[in-house]
Each structure stands twice: as structure tokens, then as C-alpha cells.
């Protein structure tokens, strides 16, 4: 065997000239040494080795379960038919269970001897117990000094802010009766402090507040702040710029599926809008041109013409307090002015209703046509939701609850602006 060639190398110190050689020279020398060493090294034979496995677990095939079912797959589950009465009874049972649990917790807290030590906690408990009781037994509607009043036993119903007695015109017996029923359904005085349990009372007080503010503004005794009437007018005009009935879907494409009635969403919206606009043009706002605020492929609504806005604003400012409160409730519920304006004009016993009836008589319209009621207002306020649920189905306790809530709010508008039902 020939020994490898050894290259003698001299140690270099920082002071020696070899240390000061360039990097290129040192690299070249190292490469030459490696080349010579490689040629001089003896040839060795490498034996092949077997690679070891990562694991030693024996492989086993998967066990496939046999298919026992035969025939087509089962149908998708369908919700069970449930009536409104059954849902109401189920919710009453749930409320009773929650109340029973609360009573058990209160009983356990009262049995604790430390609970009676704190005077503040004792007073709070007494106040809570009083609020849980109903301090009146019967509710009556009485005529006092030319107006209807709702009496809780011998106490007249009062407004929460001014503590004045709630007095309704004699032309609104249905409203007075509905107000009495609302208070007769309360089971405790604590429920009377929750606005969602007395919505009709809140609406009546809103109308009375508007009337009081009008008297103060007319007499010049106001504080200089904007009146309630002007604030409501500004609010409803903002909804007028994005009215639900004037926001139409883009034209249908070739592959779009029509709705349950065979019409596209745009055609359904356009049909409902034309019906309402036709009534308003003939009876409420003659000659007013109403254009869709969201049409074709646009995403930014456009405002109506200044002349149209001026006419509509003047009409809103001319409503009486009952009509104005009803219009505000209808606009906020349906997110649009047109449907609420038609509902007020159809059912009002004031100047707006009289003007609409006179215009119909002058045009010799058919008096036997169906009136625009709560169901029609709900349908026009939720056209897109109805169209989508007609294709994909409703979500229980969501779409049905929204529909009933809309009907409740539009129904309160009819009660507020309507008279004795002689119209």
C-alpha cells in the first residue's frame, strides 16, 4: 500500500509573511492538498446494509362493516306542525318553571338568619315583594268630562313623565278598550315598568306628548329646542330616502329561479310598490312623482326630488298628534314611509282620512274594494324575507316571531289613528 502523500506545512504566526498571504492563496493550497490526498487514498469496498423499519407493529387490514340498510336513503327531517296556541302554552310552562325556581331561591334566602341582619336588604326584599303583587283588581273604561279614562279600580291611569291622567277622545272607544285590556293582562306592578309589556300605553303617551309640545310651541312658551313634530318629520324623511318599497332587486338573470308565485323578486317588489304609489298619488299626494331609490345594479340610494320631499314634509307636519305618532310607529316598524302613510290614510278618523275619502269619492272609485290593512302592511314590509322563505323555508321562532311583531306594531297604528269603526 502506498502511503499517502504528506505535505509539509509551516506554522505561521501573525508576524510571519505566510500569515499575511491572501485568502485566495490559502484556499488554493487547501484545494490542492485535498486533491492529492484523494488520489493517494486506498480504495475500500462498502457493503450494503438493510434499512430498519420505523415501527415493528404488524400490518392488519381494516375491518369494513357490512351495509345492513337497503333501498333509497331516508328523507330529510321536517319540523313538526305546531300551532300558535301550542307554542304559547309551552312558553307559559317555561315561564312557570323559571318563576318556581326563583321562588325557591327566595325562600332559601329568607330562611338564612343572616339575611335579616341587613336593613337595606330587608327593605329591598319588601319592595320587590310589593312590585310582584298587582295593586289593582279590576280595570274599567270610564267617560269623564268628555273623554275616556282607564281606571285601575278607583285610580286613573297616569302618564309616567308628567303624572297627568291619560285621556282619550270619545271617537276612540276601541283604543280605550285595548288600553284597558293591556293593563288587565299584567300580573304585577313590576311588569308595568317594562316598556315591551305596555307598548300601546307608550304609543298613547307619545301622542299626548306631541299634543302638549304643540300647545307649548304654539303659545311661544317653548325652550327654543326643536319641537317633537319637527324631529319626527326629519326622522321619517330619512326613511323616505331608503324606503323599503322603493328598493328593488336587480333584474333577474337567465338562470335565476322564480319565487313561489312564479314572479321574480324584482317583479314582486315592483308590483307592491305600484299599488301603494297609485293609492298615494290619487288620494294623498296628487301629482307627486316617486322614483325607486335603489334600482338596477346600484348600491347607493338616490334621493327624491326636492319638490317631492317638500310636499311630503308638508303633509307630515300637517298631521294631528294621533296620526303623527301612528306614522312614526309605522315607519320605524316597516322601515319605510310609503306603507305607513297609506295605513294612516286608510284608517285615520282625522283630517288625513277625511281627505283620502273625499278624493276617492271625487274619483268615483269602487267603495267595495278591500282596505289596506295590517296583513297587507306586513306583507309589503317583508317582501324579500317572504320571497326567500318561500324558497328555503322559515326558521322557527325567528321568521314567525318577526311577522307577529310586525303585525302587532301595525295593529297598534290602526288602533291609534282609527275611530269608532264607522268609516
The fraction of the chain above a pLDDT of 90, given in percent, is 41
Cell of 165: 291622567
Q: Which residues of the chain have pLDDT under 70?
A: 1-53, 55, 67-69, 79-82, 84, 88, 112-132, 219-225, 295-296, 366-368, 420-423
Cell of 300: 347607493
Distance CA 274, CA 247 (A): 12
Distance CA 387, CA 258 (A): 9
Domain residue extents for the chain: 139-197, 212-218+226-417
Q: Which of 138, 154, 204, 155 is nearest to 175 (CA)?
A: 204
Distance CA 320, CA 45 (A): 111
Strands (E), 29-152: 139-143, 148-152
Distance CA 423, CA 419 (A): 8
What fold is seen in the domain 212-218+226-417?
ATP12-like fold (1.10.3580)
Q: DSSP letters along 309-342, please?
A: HHHHHHHHHTS-HHHHHHHHHHHHHHT-HHHHHH
Q: Which of 162, 137, 168, 169 is nearest to 150 (CA)?
A: 168
Q: What is the pTM of this model?
A: 0.70
Q: Which of 285, 234, 302, 278 is nearest to 369 (CA)?
A: 278
Host H or E run for residue 168? strand 167-168
Distance CA 86, CA 131 (A): 30
What does the pLDDT read at residue 8? 45
The fraction of the chain above a pLDDT of 70, given in percent, is 76
Classify 287 in phi/psi space as left (phi over 0), alpha (psi -120 to 50) or beta. left
What fold is seen in the domain 139-197?
ATP12-like (3.30.2180)
Residues 6+ apart with CB under 8 A from 281: 287, 288, 290
Are domains 139-197 and 212-218+226-417 of this chain identical in fold?
Answer: no
Q: Which of 278, 281, 251 is nearest to 267 (CA)?
A: 251
Summarised one tens digit per residue, pLDDT across range 4-55 is 444 444 444 444 444 444 444 554 455 454 544 444 444 444 444 555 667 6
Summarised one tens digit per residue, pLDDT across range 104-136 is 887 887 776 555 445 555 555 555 554 567 788
Q: Are 353 and 416 in contact (CB under 8 A)?
A: no
Amino acid at each position: 500500500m502506498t502511503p499517502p502523500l504528506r505535505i509539509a506545512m509551516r506554522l505561521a504566526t501573525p508576524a510571519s509573511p505566510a500569515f499575511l498571504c491572501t485568502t485566495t492563496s490559502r484556499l488554493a493550497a487547501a484545494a490542492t492538498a485535498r486533491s492529492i490526498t484523494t488520489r493517494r487514498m486506498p480504495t475500500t469496498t462498502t457493503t450494503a446494509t438493510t434499512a430498519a423499519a420505523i415501527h415493528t407493529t404488524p400490518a392488519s387490514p381494516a375491518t369494513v362493516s357490512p351495509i345492513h340498510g337497503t333501498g333509497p336513503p331516508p328523507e330529510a327531517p321536517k319540523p313538526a306542525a305546531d300551532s300558535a296556541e301550542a307554542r304559547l302554552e309551552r312558553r307559559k310552562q317555561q315561564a312557570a318553571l323559571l318563576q318556581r325556581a326563583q321562588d325557591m331561591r327566595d325562600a332559601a334566602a329568607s330562611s338564612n338568619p343572616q339575611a335579616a341582619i341587613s336593613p337595606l336588604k330587608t327593605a329591598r326584599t319588601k319592595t320587590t315583594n310589593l312590585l310582584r303583587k298587582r295593586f289593582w283588581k279590576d280595570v274599567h273604561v270610564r267617560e269623564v268630562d268628555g273623554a275616556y279614562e282607564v281606571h285601575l279600580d278607583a285610580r286613573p291611569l297616569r302618564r309616567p313623565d308628567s303624572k297627568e291622567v291619560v285621556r282619550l277622545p270619545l271617537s276612540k272607544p276601541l283604543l280605550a278598550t285595548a288600553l284597558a285590556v293591556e293593563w288587565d293582562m299584567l300580573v304585577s306592578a313590576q311588569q308595568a315598568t317594562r316598556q315591551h309589556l305596555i307598548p300601546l300605553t307608550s304609543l298613547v303617551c307619545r301622542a299626548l306628548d306631541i299634543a302638549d309640545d304643540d300647545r307649548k310651541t304654539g303659545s311661544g312658551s317653548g325652550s327654543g329646542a326643536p319641537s317633537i313634530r319637527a324631529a319626527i318629520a326629519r326622522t321619517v324623511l330619512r326613511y323616505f330616502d331608503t324606503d323599503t318599497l322603493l328598493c328593488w332587486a336587480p333584474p333577474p338573470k337567465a338562470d335565476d329561479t322564480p319565487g313561489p308565485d312564479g314572479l321574480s323578486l324584482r317583479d314582486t317588489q315592483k308590483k307592491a310598490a305600484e299599488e301603494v304609489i297609485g293609492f298615494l298619488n290619487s288620494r294623498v299626494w296628487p301629482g307627486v312623482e316617486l322614483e325607486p331609490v335603489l334600482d338596477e345594479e346600484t348600491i347607493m340610494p338616490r334621493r327624491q326630488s326636492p319638490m317631492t320631499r317638500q310636499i311630503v314634509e308638508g303633509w307630515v307636519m300637517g298631521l294631528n298628534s294621533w296620526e303623527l305618532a301612528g306614522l312614526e310607529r309605522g315607519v320605524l316598524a316597516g322601515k319605510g314611509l310609503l306603507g305607513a302613510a297609506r295605513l294612516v290614510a286608510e284608517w285615520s278618523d282625522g283630517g288625513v282620512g277625511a281627505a283620502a275619502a273625499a278624493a276617492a269619492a271625487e274619483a268615483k272609485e269602487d267603495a267595495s274594494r278591500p282596505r289596506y290593512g295590517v296583513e297587507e302592511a306586513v306583507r309589503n314590509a317583508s317582501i324579500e324575507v317572504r320571497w326567500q322563505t318561500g324558497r328555503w323555508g322559515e326558521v322557527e321562532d325567528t321568521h314567525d316571531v318577526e311577522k307577529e311583531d310586525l303585525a302587532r306594531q301595525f295593529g297598534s297604528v290602526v288602533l291609534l289613528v282609527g275611530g269608532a269603526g264607522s268609516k
